[in-house]
Structure 1
Amino acid sequence: MSNSVPGTEGYAEDAAALVARWRNVSFEDVHRSVLHLIAKSPSRILDLGAGMGRDAAALAAMGHSVVAVEPVNELRAAAIGLYPTRNVIWLDDSLPELTAVTQRALSFNTVLITAVWMHLDESQRQRAMNVVSGLLEEEGHLIMSLRHGPVPAGRRMFDISASETIDLAEAYGLALALNTTTQSVQQSNRSMGISWTWLAFRKDR
């Protein structure tokens, strides 16, 4: 599917290098500012744009049942090889429609969108927020990060503000629970001036 999904440009070609780089960064370091929002007891979690599987595997090790979505075949194959576990279901699917996920008629306590939202244009973001809201259980959390900084050559990215995202989420019944900005945990990204806004929303209706 990856060849037909806008926003995945460059990831298949760079998959090996990306996997090697991402393995050097822990789930806990990346998500430190939002870890307290992830349920302590076993729950269903949807990991969108799951890459090479580090986050899905960490969540599964915490006892959660994870549906991991990754449209880039090379990254998904690497994930399955690196982190074999029965607690993760891997799907070839993508935002904004999430056709394969919605066909399963599941709901989730947490939806995690790490380093993905910047690949969606305005129309796609509106459709994606509607779909994601519909997948969340009442009182469930959407956790997401927004990237700020220079765009790598050959990639498709948009610089998206926190205020725009908050307004969009609220329009679909998601109330702001957290808004914080952090530096990148990767030194190479910090040196290029890349930072992240972390947002979390709670489904109220």
Structure 2
Amino acid sequence: MTLPPTRWELAGEDNRGYGRHFADVVARGVDVDGEARLADALVPRGARVLDVGSGMGRVAAALQARGHDVVATEPDAALREQSRATYPDLEVLPHEALALDPHEVGAFDLVVLVGNVMIYLGEGTERQVLGRVRELLAPSGRVLVGFHLTAVMSGSRTYPAEEFVQNATSAGLRVVHRFGSYELHEPDEAYAVWVLERARRD
């Protein structure tokens, strides 16, 4: 299957500072575990977690350190290299979301798409990606998604909340919660954090 280029790929060198920035932040001891703390609260001990677009590995590594069975996947080779340097015990697959085969990787208690993954997907693939995520969920599994609603970085798109909900619904998912941050602030128009699950069938 030929996949369309992601917005992240098309941005090219404009995004090269991302991994280095977070590696420096981690080295200075700054707290970067906000997403992981919320993800950890959504699942029982030893849960199976998929981190899609794991970047330089900070969320996946934090969840692994908390005892979860984590599968991380990051298609950007430079970010995978950064991840190996910063978190050498974290294995990272080179797959895009749409290249993940549920029969090969299995089902997950939680799928994580944070750090603006959704606004860097290939053009027109958002609903398809959400559909694949649904296929990867265990029956009671959930999805944690977080992204800026307005394009704020090179190559990213504006993704209104209403459009995201429509895409999620069309993909067979439903919104359980929406927050304005990973610390569960009230929803706002800048950043959205969503908890999704499989839509209930009548």
TM-score range, shorter chain: 0.7 to 0.9
Residues in 2 aligned to 1:5 and 1:179: alpha-carbon distance in whole angstroms: 26
The TM-score with structure 1 as length reference comes to 0.77
1:130 partner SS? helix
- Deviation track 1:54-107 (CA, whole Å, cap 9, x = no partner) reads 11111111111111111111111121222122xx43111113x1x245462411
Residues in 1 aligned to 2:33 and 2:19: alpha-carbon distance in whole angstroms: 22
Kept in 2: contact 1:93–1:100 (CA 8 A): yes
Uncovered stretches (5+) of structure 2, i.e. residues with no partner? 184-188
1:78 aligns with 2:116: no
Structure-to-structure mapping, 1:41-190, within 5 angstroms: 41-85=45-89, 88-95=90-97, 97=98, 99-102=99-102, 104-114=104-114, 115-120=116-121, 123-149=124-150, 151-152=152-153, 155-182=154-181
Kept in 1: contact 2:6–2:121 (CA 8 A): no
Residues in 1 aligned to 2:195 and 2:159: alpha-carbon distance in whole angstroms: 15
- Deviation track 1:157-193 (CA, whole Å, cap 9, x = no partner) reads 1111222212221222222111011399xxxxxxxxx
Q: RMSD of aligned C-alpha atoms?
A: 2.7
The TM-score with structure 2 as length reference comes to 0.78
- Deviation track 1:137-162 (CA, whole Å, cap 9, x = no partner) reads 1111111012134533xx21111122
Structure 2 CA distance for partners of 1:173 and 1:125, relative to 1, 3 Å = same
- Deviation track 1:102-146 (CA, whole Å, cap 9, x = no partner) reads 462411110000121011255210111111111111111111012
1:189 equivalent in structure 2: none
Percent identical residues? 24
Matched pairs, number: 186
